[in-house]
Amino acid sequence: MKRRFNVTGSCNPQRDYMVRLDDRLKKIKEDYVDYGSYFVINRGRQYGKTTTLKALAKYLSGDYIVLSLDFQQMGTEDFADAATFAHAFANALIEKLEINGLDDRKELLKPLTEVINRDSNSLKDLFTRLSRMCRNSTQPIVLIIDEVDSAGNNQVFIDFLAQLRGYYLARDEMPTFHSVILAGVYSIKNLKLKLRPESEHQFNSPWNIAADFKINMRFSAEQVAGMLVEYEADRQTGMDICAVAEEIYAYTSGYPVLVSTICKYIDEDLSGSEDFESPKAAWSKEGVAEAVKNMLKVSTPLFESMVRQLDLYKELRVMLENIIYQGLKIPFSPDEKAVSMGLMFGFLTEKNGQVAIANRIFEMYLLNLFMTEEAGKSEIYLKGDRDGIGFIRNNRLDMDLVLKKFVEYFHEICGDKDETFIEKNGRKFFLLYLKPIINGTGNYYMEAQTRDARRTDVIVDYLGEQFIVELKIWHGNEYNTRGEKQLTNYLEYFHRDKGYLLSFNFNQKKEIGVKEIQVGDKTIVEAVV
């Protein structure tokens, strides 16, 4: 069977191209399961949790009896009350024993059957018999539950966690599961956010026994390259594997589904297309950029989930806007509510003690989302939309003219605005002006390494040609000169001879306009507004 890149469910190495998980599974087993830890794998949507759990269940099966459940496969009615849940949970375990070929093990089956045959069970009744099952088993039992945050009645689930905790603390006297692994998007400590407001007082942290799960589930560039090695062995495209892997990583920071989606686009949509006639042409930096552009045009479950969370958690949205538009540096504190939410959903990460957006694709998507929402009420966007076609000559973007026209319009629209307004909104206005000009053909992103409250580097890609534009707030001549030098270094990194500098200047004696200067062997088009 021809393997593919899978973006719609758990991956199977026999069916799908995927990063090998052997090292990850070994570490989870040795550091957590063998030690008897109870822990939570809490990661964002489509982060490879289910794939990891399925592989882990198989990996552990030699040393343990593994009972692996998915709460998504239990109906809302199964969580109606404790008695109903106890019955459904025992049934699910019996079914799992049958699937695993262990349904002849009386020491496992009998206690569960007793739960089924009783007219009514409390959670205590259920756990009394689970304890008996664990005592009688010839092997330690590991319980894995995926999608724990999909429980239909959160209070029943919290009571279930409390029972697990109680037996864990008393495990020397009352045998219980050797290790328990829970997986979902919401961390247990944040599960109260899914409770009804009137029920929040019932939440009392029933999972403070959990070990801190520190396994990195992002893919490294090396791991992406390893996956591409397998693909190349099958398809023989002639690609530069390391270069392509590095470029994919640059956009995704190893977020699993984003990695697979880029590869899927290149393999199924770009290879052999009009713009990429050969597989080798598609499996390139240009092909990766085109795949990303296509991704951002499609509504995916991951992006839909992101929009829902931003609607629910307004403080998280405000934080993301401040980071993107203003380069605001926010100290990293995982207990701050907006930061905690962003980390939990996979939108944010920590970088050098500051809060950062998790990857370039998320940043590009959020930027497009925020600006699309503002476009209809933005005069500067309408100016760019009106003039757009005039900036394209022989399929090349005339960035010199873009800056010249922006300076004119900015002075016209914002000339009477105060310094605070311009400092807060200046960069947003330029991005709004640029968006309709390149929309559908080019794309752009802000370079995270250089972005701060004073300067931001925007990388514009139009039909394979890159333009480096530095946006900066005026802070004196010395800072300006330093900025020019920084831009030339960046141009050197991107192998470009020409760059662009847009300065938002509040000096009363400033000269508004566009000029061309030479810094070493680099040409800089400097625009002042």
Q: What is the pLDDT of residues 73-116, one digit of tens each?
A: 888 889 889 999 999 999 999 999 999 888 788 889 999 999 99
What is the pTM (predicted TM-score) of this model? 0.88
Amino acid letter for position 99: I
State the Cα angle at 489 between 484 and 490, rounded to 5°. Answer: 95
331: DSSP letter: B
Buried-state track 116-144, b at ≥16 Cβ within 10 A, e below 16: eebeebebebbbbbbbbbbeebeebbbbb
Q: Does the pLDDT value for residue 450 go beyond 50?
A: yes
pLDDT band at 504 (very low <50, low <70, confident <90, very high): confident
Burial of 446 (0-12, 13-18, 19+ CB in 10 A): buried
Cross-strand partners of 121 = none
Using alpha carbons, select from 224, 168, 183 the residue that is nearest to residue 56.
183
Highest-scoring range by mean pLDDT, 12-26, 451-465, 484-498: 12-26
pLDDT at 153: 62
Provide the 8-state DSSP code for 219.
Answer: P
Which residue intervals of 29-139 are DSSP H helices?
49-60, 82-99, 106-117, 123-136
The structure tokens listed for 454 are 């004073």
Q: Which two tokens stand for residue 174?
A: 């009352």
Tell me 415's DSSP state.
T
Burial 227-238 (b: 16+ CB within 10 A, else e): bbeebbeebebe
**CATH number for region 22-202:** 3.40.50.300
For residue 117, the model assigns a pLDDT of 93
pLDDT attached to residue 355: 93
CA 24 to chain centre: 19
Is 418's pLDDT higher than 70?
Answer: no
How much is the mean pLDDT over the chain? 88
Burial of 356 (0-12, 13-18, 19+ CB in 10 A): buried
pLDDT at 201: 43
Q: Which of 9-18, 238-247, 501-510 has the lowest mean pLDDT?
A: 501-510
- 151 versus 430: the higher-pLDDT residue is 430
Half-sphere exposure of 5 (CA within 13 A, CB side): 20
Strands 65-70 and 141-146: parallel
Q: Is 149 helix (H, G, I), strand (E, B) or coil?
A: helix
pLDDT band at 69 (very low <50, low <70, confident <90, very high): very high
Q: Could you count the other beta carbons within 10 Å of the beta carbon of residue 289?
A: 18
Q: N- to C-terminal Cα distance for the chain?
A: 60
% of the chain surpassing 90 pLDDT: 58
Q: Please, what's the b/e burial string for 432-442 (b: 16 or more CB within 10 A of its CB; e: otherwise)?
A: bbbbbbbbeeb
Q: 297-301, 320-324, 395-399, 473-477: which has the minimum mean pLDDT?
A: 473-477
Q: How confident is the model at residue 379 (pLDDT cuts 50, 70, 90)?
A: confident
Name the CA radius of gyration of the chain, rounded.
Answer: 28
Q: E-assigned strands of 215-275?
A: none
Contact 361, 295 (CB under 8 A): yes
Q: Which candidate, 354, 359, 406, 348, places its Cα nearest to that of 380?
A: 406
pLDDT in tens, 232-273: 999 999 999 999 999 999 999 999 999 999 999 999 999 999
| Residue 198 predicted with pLDDT over 50 | no
Domain coordinates in residue numbering, the chain: 22-202, 221-295, 301-357, 389-528
| Relative orientation angle of helices 241-252 and 360-375, to the nearest 10 degrees | 50
Quickly state the pLDDT bin for 413 (edges 50, 70, 90): confident
**Can you tell me whether residue 62 is helix, strand or coil?**
coil
Note the pLDDT of residue 326.
78
Q: How far is CA 406 from CA 402, 428, 500, 521, in A?
A: 6, 12, 13, 26
> pLDDT by residue (tens digit) across 349-365?
999 899 999 999 999 99
> How far is the C-alpha of 335 from the C-alpha of 226, rounded, in Å?
36
Q: Is 65 helix (H, G, I), strand (E, B) or coil?
A: strand
Query: What pLDDT does residue 252 have?
Result: 97
The residue-averaged pLDDT of 270-292 equals 94
